Chain A
Amino acid sequence: MHIFDSNWRSKALRYWAVPTFLVFIAAIHMYRTHVFQQSSWGAGCGFGMFTTVDYHDSRFFRCAISIDGNTQMDAFFGPSFRKLNLQARVTPSDYNLSKLANELTRAEWYEVVVFDPKDESNVLARIADTDSQAQEFLQRKFNDRIVNTRSTRIRVESLEIELLGIRFDTERQQIKSHLINKLRLQRKTPNSDVASWNKVYR
């Protein structure tokens, strides 16, 4: 089936279209990586794999929640937010971070209090959890101790989320984290059932 005859236009399309498109997309990816800190790996076709230590897979979030507007607890979230999590790690814009943070404020959060089984008043840790993601952290932190936990449903008054990247210091044999973007959501009217939020970016 020969749709095109051999004139120069058809030859240009059949020979050059795909290589030109490849270069065009790769150039866009390169631009977005350098200007918007988009991940150099995957997430497109830029051929930037195995180029940088800082990329979407090595980026990670730290989240903290407050139920009274003051005292913060480390917060853990997981698979339910996979798509938004990936979006924000690939392109760490204010918009993507905001989308993730807004979704987190709509989730069901539980305060997990870890205490000594012999003495309930001896609180060993207090963290916020949704998606049961805190279990792994707690298992690692207390793997040589017998502890009890108590979970209570909580309402978020403020949420702070940070996206961090890493660099490798070859001289000191260290991996160092650095802040890429940060957002804090504070409920506009404390203790109100109406959920509207003030946003403060990095």
Chain B
Amino acid sequence: MLQAGIKFIAKAEKWVAEFDVFSIIGFMTCLVLLFNSHGKFFALLSIGALATLVFAPSLRRSPVFWIVMVLIWIPRLVIDWRDNEDHVFFGIYWCMAIGLALMGKDAEIAIRFNARWLIGLSFLIATIWKVISPQYYEGELFHYKLLQDSRFRMMVTTKVAGLDASDDQANAKAIIDLRNGSTTDGIAQLTYPKPVSYIAFFMTYWTILIEGSLGILFLLRSTRILSMIRNSLLMIFAITTYAVVPVLGFGILFMTMGIANCEPHEKRTKFCYLATSALILVLFASRIAIIQNFA
């Protein structure tokens, strides 16, 4: 069985290596747009775009295809900018980058450059925000998220930090009372065990470390060793982050950019990025199953 598994992986690696990079990133980008759609029209648009790329291979290297996608999304992002999260904008920036890259003969080099700089800049800017925000580096943010955000509570706070159900309910009530004015002093008193604080501070500084490292590493000029380190780190970041906070629009987008950034000899890395994408989706699906079972 192990031999069969190894053979299968080797075959899959070869297939991915032979597939045109703009086909792979095209399919994955349409998937990202589907995750970011939040509405019937854009969901159907994304599915239609994916189907178009599958059945009309000549469009996979068409800059017009991607520019049209960007133009269709722009009104929503301009008019309803408050209703759209960072990863939605980021996805459209990426579509624009693909479109512009395909307008020249050096499309592979251009998209590799854009992928590297978009990954690097997004992580660097995110790190700068965190480093200049006392609400972040003093640990407030992760304390709040571990106690209030159901994604963290389900995966980390109750299972790992040992927050018990009665304290969880009391905290939820305290926050609701604060919001609807039932408290006179504007304070919600919470109860949680010490491990919550330890985990909050660990996550605070781990995130600065990993995001800062990714920001710097992706903005440095590529070498073989540097490439191996930063690709591995990006996959580790994706698995550890999106297993807890399943923002698929970001997770799959970073994997797509990672594939686009691979040099021609980095065939195994491309395969690993695809495998990591599949893992993120599997983790998301199993999470849904867990929630439904315990609901």
Point out residues on A near B: beta carbons under 8 Å.
1-6, 10-11, 13-15, 17-19, 21-23, 25-26, 30, 40-54, 56, 58, 60, 62, 74, 86-87, 90-91, 137, 140-141, 164, 166-168, 170, 172-178
Query: Are A52 and B136 CB-contacts (below 8 A) given A2-B104, A170-B197?
Result: yes
Report if B202 contacts A (CB, 8 A): no
Q: Are A18 and B97 in contact (CB under 8 A)?
A: yes
The docked-state distance in angstroms from the alpha carbon of A167 to that of B143 is: 11
In the bound complex, residues from chain B placing their C-beta under 8 Å from that of A164 are 186
Chain B residue, CB-CB nearest to A87: B82
Q: A1-B64, A50-B130, A54-B135 are in contact. List 9 more A-B contacts (CB 8 A).
A: A4-B104, A23-B121, A42-B82, A42-B85, A43-B82, A49-B86, A86-B83, A168-B140, A172-B189
**Contact between A23 and B144, CB atoms less than 8 A apart:** no
Q: Known A3-B63, A174-B189; judge A46-B129 contact (CB<8 A).
A: yes
Looking at the complex, which one of B61, B100, B122, B141 makes contact with A52 (CB distance below 8 Å)?
A: B141
Q: How far is the CA of A54 from the CA of B148 in the complex (A)?
A: 13
Q: In the complex, which range does the number of interface residues on chain B fall in?
A: 35 or more
Highest count of chain A CB atoms <10 Å: which of B133, B182, B191 = B133
B104–chain A nearest beta-carbon distance, Å: 5
Compute how far the CA of A177 lies from the CA of B101 in the bound complex, rounded to whole angstroms: 48
The chain A residue sitting closest to B92, CB to CB, is A45
The answer to whether A14 and B100 touch (CB under 8 A), given A22-B121, A54-B135, A170-B140, is yes
Asked if A51 contacts B141 (CB within 8 A), the reply is: yes
Instruction: For the complex of A and B, list the 4 residue pairs with the smallest distance between their C-beta atoms, beginning with the closest.
Output: A45-B89, A42-B85, A168-B140, A177-B186
| 22 sample A-B contacts, Cβ–Cβ < 8 Å, listed by A number | A1-B61, A1-B62, A2-B105, A6-B104, A14-B101, A17-B100, A18-B94, A18-B114, A19-B117, A26-B121, A44-B81, A44-B89, A45-B86, A46-B125, A47-B125, A48-B126, A48-B129, A51-B126, A140-B180, A168-B143, A170-B138, A170-B139
Contact between A11 and B104 (Cβ–Cβ < 8 Å)?
yes
- Which of B83, B103, B128, B181 is A14 in contact with, Cβ under 8 Å? B103
A1–B100 CB distance below 8 A: no
* B90 contact from A17, A45, A140, Cβ within 8 A: A45
Cβ of B68 within 8 Å of any chain A Cβ, yes or no, is no
Q: Is the CB of A3 within 8 A of B103?
A: yes
B106 to chain A, nearest CB (A): 7
The residue that B100 contacts in the complex, of A6, A18, A41, A173, with Cβ under 8 A, is: A18
- B residues lining the A interface (CB < 8 Å): 61-64, 81-86, 89-90, 93-94, 96-97, 100-106, 110, 113-114, 117-118, 121-122, 125-126, 128-130, 133, 135-136, 138-141, 143-145, 174-176, 178-182, 186-192, 197, 200, 207
Decide if A175 touches B190 in the complex (CB within 8 Å). yes
Taking the nearest CB of chain A, how far is it from the CB of B123, in angstroms?
8
A50 CA to B188 CA, complexed, in Å: 21
Interface core residue of B101, B129, B179, B187 (most chain A CB under 10 Å): B129
Contact B104 A175 (CB under 8 A): no
- A residues within 8 A CB of B102? 1
Smallest CB separation, B288 vs chain A (Å) = 22
In the complex, what residue of chain A is closest to B100 when comparing beta carbons? A14
CA distance A8 to B160 in the complex (A): 54
Min distance, Cβ B57 to any Cβ of chain A, angstroms: 15
Given A22-B121, A48-B129, residue A13 in contact with residue B105 (CB < 8 A): no
Can you name the residue of chain B whose Cβ is closest to the Cβ of A134? B180
B151 to chain A, nearest CB (A): 12
Chain B nearest CB: distance from A21 CB in Å? 7
- How far, in angstroms, from A48 to B96 measured CA to CA in the complex? 22
Nearest residue (CB) in A for B109 is: A15
User: In whole angstroms, what is the CA distance A120 to B135 when docked?
Assistant: 49
Given A18-B97, A45-B89, A23-B125 contact (CB < 8 Å): yes
- B79 nearest CB across to chain A (Å): 11
Contact partners of A91 in chain B: CB under 8 A: 82
**Residue of B82, B102, B178, B191 with most partner-chain A CB within 10 A:** B82
Given A17-B100, A53-B144, check contact A45 B180 (CB 8 Å): no
Q: Are A10 and B104 in contact (CB under 8 A)?
A: yes
Decide: B105 and A30 in contact? CB cutoff 8 A. Answer: no
A5 to B143, CA, bound (A): 53
Determine which of B100, B128, B180 lies in contact with A137 in the assembled complex, contact meaning CB atoms within 8 Å: B180
Tell me the complex Cα distance, A176–B240, Å: 30
